Amino acid sequence: MNALTDVQSGSRALLSGNEAVARAVWEAGATLATAYPGTPSTEILEVLARYPDVDAQWAVNEKVSLEVAIGGSLAGARTFCAMKHVGMNVAADALMSQTLAGVNGGLVIAIADDVGLSSSQNEQDSRYWGRFAHLPILEPADADEARAFTLAAYELSEQFNCPVILRLTTRVCHVKTVVTVGERLTMDNKGFIRDPRRWVMLPSNAKVMLPRQAERDVGLAAHAETSDLTTILPGDDASLGVIASGPAALSVREALPDAPILKLGLTHPIPVARIRAFAETVDQVLVVEETEPLVEQEVRAAGLTVIGKDLLPRHGELSVAVLRHALAVLRGETETPDTVAAAAGPDPTVFPRPPTMCPGCPHLTPFYCLSKLRKALLISGDIGCYTLGAGHPWQAMDTCTCMGASLTLAHGLAAAKGEADAKKGVVAVIGDSTFLHMGMQGLLNLVYNRANVTVMILDNRTVAMTGGQEHPGTGFDIHGDEAPRVDFAALVQAMGVKPERVHAIDPYDLPALFSLIRTETQVPEVSVIITNQPCVLTDRHVPHPALTVDEEACTGCGSCINTGCPAIEVTRRETTVTKAGHKKDLAFVRIDSAFCTGCNACVETCAPDAIVPLAPEAHPRLQRV
Amino acid sequence: MAATVTNILLCGIGGQGVLTAAELLARGAVAVGHDVKKTEVAGMAQRGGVVTSHLRFGPEVLAPAIPAGEADILLGFEAAEALRWIGQVREGGAIVVNALHLKPPVVHQGLFDYPDDPIGLMRAKGLTVRTLDARAIAEDLGNLKLVNTIMVGAVADHLPLAPETLRTQIVETFRARKPALADLNGRAFDAGRAAGADASALGEPQVVAG
């Protein structure tokens, strides 16, 4: 037990949106919850795993996760599934068919949209799934609503016999606020109902379901007109009324405290009659939604005149500053708060501080090697910490699209490369969890089609970018209990990669790794290189004694900086003239021994052997920050 | 509304404990009955990138993020990061900064320059900047992870919360989670508070470290 699960019914707790959703799933009596980690949704399942009586499981990908949750619903239990926005692209196959069949136990799917793109490859508006799959969309504005709406979602799911989508955004998931929590409901398992006409989606059965889906649309539209998830926040100034949803509705309230607001909690289907009635009480209507104009278009289709994305941005967060600026533009004020907003943004003269790999990260050397072989390669990347390999100093990534696409894009690059690239080798770089998520199919396809790609599986035994979750390659489950661990070398051989083309290697052995990558990229068939050192942020990583730089010996060549290790720092720069008369910039370095993990990767890059172990007595006995 | 809501902007670098400090302050505000909203952007920020946390408390808090230019307090865990976000502070707002210079790899790689004196640049704007050397205090106490509690202590006398209440809340939070660290965090809070009170608006330490 812990602080979160100990919170007594009726008490106030400071919870994030993710924690509140988890609490509500538990309160709703759900017994099965699944997810694949993805920012900003990850913590929902991590928190759920701490509650008793809920079987929380990491799934290998979102499609698998949703299908397990669907199966649990069919078995008669209330179930739950969480994912980030792009996860539903993977899971959509299951969603689009199950929406016809419906559910047995309540099924709630939380989709977390990364509005503002803090940690994603795109910005999607998941509310489209409501329209596409004929399902209700609930949009809480903060953690307190996230809890209430999750409970309401289970009621709706069972009332309308369909999955319900809880649409979250970063500013719900990662915002903590005060939430009043409740007790867990006692839900009896309904039992599986044997009914192939309902659960077996043969064309003949699905055909019967289509009119029922249309009836459900009508029922949901009627429900939207009375749903208490949609509320009016009264205001005295009727010159402008606002239709808003999600956290943006709260920002509207702050930016425009006197405006009446129709706050939509159920945003698909929209309550057309309520919107019409609201519009009659105000002079003008502004629609504020993140991010696409879904509500706006439906309101316009209903024949109402509104202001929307013609005024407001179509991407990013609709913050108070953005809204104030838009309102000033609307009022035709010349002196807009835009200048205030710009001045309050980050100081543009301060250097950028992009995310970096960690000191001693086992991904440093693979990208160091790839950067040295850059001209001879096309490098296809994937989703994870190692996507940082696209940045400085390595700049060793040519493509990155979506989970698993490193192998398949590499496949296409290798199969169709033109004359200019004919001599280039093609490398796919993917992490352990991403490989299991959606990379395996690509490898099978490579082998089957006798392609020529070198696949690097950077196995750091965790889902690192989302904070270190377990997966089938780690040997542990979400509770930290032992679980069967996949053997990557055996797996790829089972898919047909020749045993002599499969190499497990210690990435800290830089010369061996470099030589292996160079050799395998010249072999005209599928090779798999598996690096085998764990993420330095996990308990599996064992640090070695820290290193330091012998200042007398350092020649300022700067080679070690090219590993990208953030523990290496430049102490001074000089310019010298070589014997051949060329100017040469020198950068003398030190190592911050408090951060150094003693991985020795930089030692191999140092020609004058200036990087040496720190004398044990000089080692600061401090915990690393 | 704005007059009754206190807005604290915490900024620093992934791994420095910015989010933990925000959590400790938020718990202190909840303990005395405030409505609270605390937001941050996590995800890639964990990897040594820019981290900010917005903490708002008062009778009722609406928007999750602090509106532009309305931060009452800036708590900077690193000098250049404080400079980065200084425009968020309202006129007369309190500014407390850990006078640490952490240069990112892009600076060591020679792609960008780190300002010589970020605190001086803030003061040149006419701002009163209180500084302390939280890392040195943490080293004295024997644990670099104490920086977050030290920073909370440093800002304690600038908040509309009783410092003693905040201290009690912090010690109790650690006693529930990591009992061995409870008293140490109490001492870290005190040391931070003393540094925050003593911190001269002039002649601060300029700490250059990893």
Task: Provide the pLDDT for residue B1.
Answer: 43
pLDDT at B208 over 50: no
- Which of chain A's residues have a Cβ under 8 Å away from the Cβ of B40? 174
Helix (H) or strand (E) holding A270: none
Q: Which two tokens mark A327? A: 């309102």
Give B60's contacts (C-beta < 8 A, 6+ positions apart). Answer: B1, B4, B5, B35
* Residue B197 distance to chain A (closest CA, Å): 25
How sure is the predictor about B180, in pLDDT bands with cuts at 50, 70 and 90? very high
Q: Does domain A3-224 have CATH number 3.40.50.970?
A: yes
Amino acid at residue number A143: A
Interatomic CA distance for residues A81 and A59, integer angstroms: 10
Domain ranges of chain A: 3-224, 231-343, 364-531, 547-618
Dihedral sign of CA atoms A97, A99, A104, A106 in order: positive
DSSP secondary structure of B2-58: GGG-EEEEEEEETTSSHHHHHHHHHHHHHHTT-EEEEEE--GGGGTT-EEEEEEEEE
DSSP secondary structure of A444-470: HHHHHTT---EEEEE--SSBTTTT-B-
- Which of chain B's residues have a Cβ under 8 Å away from the Cβ of A387? none
Any idea which of A133-137, A344-348, A491-495, A603-607 has the lowest mean pLDDT? A344-348
| CA end-to-end distance (rounded Å), chain A | 27
| CA end-to-end distance (rounded Å), chain B | 41
* Residue A155 distance to chain B (closest CA, Å): 28
* Residue B165 distance to chain A (closest CA, Å): 17
Residue pLDDT, tens place only, A1-22: 345 677 788 888 999 999 999 9
Task: Provide the pLDDT for residue A188.
Answer: 93
B49 in contact with chain A, both atoms CB, cutoff 8 A: yes
Cα distances (Å, whole numbers) of residue A611 to A394, A597, A607, A619 = 21, 13, 9, 15
DSSP secondary structure of A399-443: B--STTHHHHHHHHHHHH--GGGTT-EEEEEEEHHHIIIIIHHHH
Task: Provide the pLDDT for residue B210.
Answer: 38
Task: Provide the pLDDT for residue A163.
Answer: 98
Which one of B106, B117, B208 makes the best mutation probe of the A interface by having the most chain A beta carbons within 10 Å? B106
Give B147's contacts (C-beta < 8 A, 6+ positions apart). Answer: A625, B16, B17, B77, B98, B134, B135, B138
Helix (H) or strand (E) holding B88: none
* Nearest beta carbon to residue B69 from set A253, A343, A466: A343
Any idea which of A6-15, A71-80, A187-196, A412-421 has the lowest mean pLDDT? A6-15
How sure is the predictor about B196, in pLDDT bands with cuts at 50, 70 and 90? confident
B44 and A319: CB-CB below 8 Å?
Answer: no
Interatomic CA distance for residues B187 and B191, integer angstroms: 6
The 10 Å Cβ neighbour count of residue A440 is 17
CATH number for the segment(s) A364-531: 3.40.50.970
Give B110's contacts (C-beta < 8 A, 6+ positions apart). Answer: A570, A573, A585, A587
Interatomic CA distance for residues A139 and A146, integer angstroms: 8
Place of tokens 């352990």: A432
Residue A310 has, within 13 A of its CA and on its CB side, a CA count of 9
A351 and B114: CB-CB below 8 Å?
Answer: yes
CA angle, A246 then A223 then A196, to 5°: 105
> Which candidate, A350, A344, A243, places its Cα nearest to that of A302?
A243
Q: In this structure, what are the phi and psi dihedrals at residue A131, rounded to the nearest 5 degrees? A: -70, -45
A344 in contact with chain B, both atoms CB, cutoff 8 A: yes
- Which of chain B's residues have a Cβ under 8 Å away from the Cβ of A175? 37-39, 64
- Nearest chain B residue to A40 by CA: give it: B43
Q: In this structure, what are the phi and psi dihedrals at residue B52, rounded to the nearest 5 degrees? A: -130, 150
Dihedral sign of CA atoms A594, A598, A601, A604 in order: positive
Task: Provide the pLDDT for residue A593.
Answer: 87
pLDDT at A194 over 90: yes
Interatomic CA distance for residues A428 and A492, integer angstroms: 14
DSSP character for A40?
T
CB pairs under 8 A between A and B: 198
Task: Provide the pLDDT for residue A159.
Answer: 98
Interatomic CA distance for residues B113 and A350, integer angstroms: 8
> Which candidate, A11, A29, A301, A18, places its Cα nearest to that of A155?
A29
Q: Which CATH class is domain A231-343?
A: alpha beta
How sure is the predictor about A354, in pLDDT bands with cuts at 50, 70 and 90? confident
- Nearest chain A residue to B79 by CA: give it: A350
- Which of chain B's residues have a Cβ under 8 Å away from the Cβ of A178? 30, 35-36
B49 and A564: CB-CB below 8 Å?
Answer: no
How sure is the predictor about A118, in pLDDT bands with cuts at 50, 70 and 90? confident
Q: Distance from CA of residue A318 to its chain's centroid?
A: 21
Interface confidence, given as ipTM, is 0.91
B31 in contact with chain A, both atoms CB, cutoff 8 A: no
Domains by residue range for chain B, with CATH: 2-108+118-199 (3.40.920.10)
Q: Taking residues B45-59, what's their average pLDDT?
A: 86
Q: Which two tokens mark A50? A: 């701490």
How sure is the predictor about B144, in pLDDT bands with cuts at 50, 70 and 90? confident
DSSP character for A210?
H
Most confident of the following: A61-65, A342-346, B66-70: A61-65
In contact, A497 and A78? CB cutoff 8 Å: no
How sure is the predictor about A340, in pLDDT bands with cuts at 50, 70 and 90? low
Task: Provide the pLDDT for residue A578.
Answer: 87
Cα distances (Å, whole numbers) of residue A472 to A57, A227, A428, A469, A495 = 11, 42, 21, 10, 17
Q: Taking residues A349-359, what's their average pLDDT?
A: 91
Task: Provide the pLDDT for residue A120.
Answer: 85
* Residue A388 distance to chain B (closest CA, Å): 10
pTM beyond 0.90: the answer is yes
Q: Taking residues A368-383, what's their average pLDDT?
A: 97
CA angle, A589 then A591 then A594, to 5°: 160
How sure is the predictor about A117, in pLDDT bands with cuts at 50, 70 and 90? confident
A607 in contact with chain B, both atoms CB, cutoff 8 A: no
Q: Taking residues A194-202, what's their average pLDDT?
A: 94
* Nearest beta carbon to residue B49 from set A247, A347, A355: A355
Q: Which two tokens mark A478? A: 């979400």
Domain A231-343 in the same topology as domain A3-224: yes
Give A53's contacts (C-beta < 8 A, 6+ positions apart). Answer: A26, A31, A184
Q: In this structure, what are the phi and psi dihedrals at residue B133, rounded to the nearest 5 degrees? A: -110, 85
CA angle, A13 then B94 then B132, to 5°: 95
Q: Taking residues A474-482, what's their average pLDDT?
A: 97
Q: Which two tokens mark B15? A: 């791994």
DSSP three-state, residue A91 = helix
Q: Which two tokens mark A521? A: 């990229």
Percent of chain A at pLDDT above 70?
Answer: 96
> Which candidate, A150, A165, A199, places its Cα nearest to that of A26?
A150
Most confident of the following: A365-374, B10-19, B31-40: A365-374
Dihedral sign of CA atoms B67, B70, B71, B72 in order: negative
Task: Please indicate if the annotation marks A162 as binding a ligand.
Answer: no
Task: Provide the pLDDT for residue A190.
Answer: 96
Interatomic CA distance for residues A30 and A436, integer angstroms: 27
Interatomic CA distance for residues A524 and A63, integer angstroms: 34
- Nearest chain A residue to B11 by CA: give it: A346
Residue pLDDT, tens place only, A200-233: 999 999 999 999 999 999 999 999 999 999 999 9
pLDDT at A134 over 70: yes
Amino acid at residue number A324: R
Any idea which of A303-312, A440-449, A494-503, B193-202 has the lowest mean pLDDT? B193-202
B108 and A319: CB-CB below 8 Å?
Answer: no
Q: In this structure, what are the phi and psi dihedrals at residue A70, rounded to the nearest 5 degrees? A: -65, -45
The 10 Å Cβ neighbour count of residue A228 is 9
Task: Provide the pLDDT for residue A344.
Answer: 61
Q: Does domain A547-618 have CATH number 3.30.70?
A: yes
- Looking at every residue in chain A, the average pLDDT score rounds to 94
Percent of chain A at pLDDT above 90?
Answer: 87
Task: Provide the pLDDT for residue B40.
Answer: 83
Question: A199: burial class by Cβ within 10 Å (0-12, 13-18, 19+)?
Answer: middle
Q: Taking residues A347-351, what's their average pLDDT?
A: 91
CA dihedral A310, A312, A315, A321 (to 10 degrees): 170
Most confident of the following: A117-126, A395-404, B139-148: A395-404
Place of tokens 């979250």: A168
Give A158's contacts (C-beta < 8 A, 6+ positions apart). Answer: A103, A105, A106
Task: Provide the pLDDT for residue A616.
Answer: 61
Task: Provide the pLDDT for residue A335.
Answer: 54
In contact, B84 and B59? CB cutoff 8 Å: no
DSSP three-state, residue A211 = helix
- Nearest chain A residue to B91 by CA: give it: A344
Interatomic CA distance for residues A166 and A179, integer angstroms: 18
Beta strand spans in A150-195 (E) = 164-169, 175-180
Any idea which of A1-5, A563-567, A590-594, B88-92 has the lowest mean pLDDT? A1-5
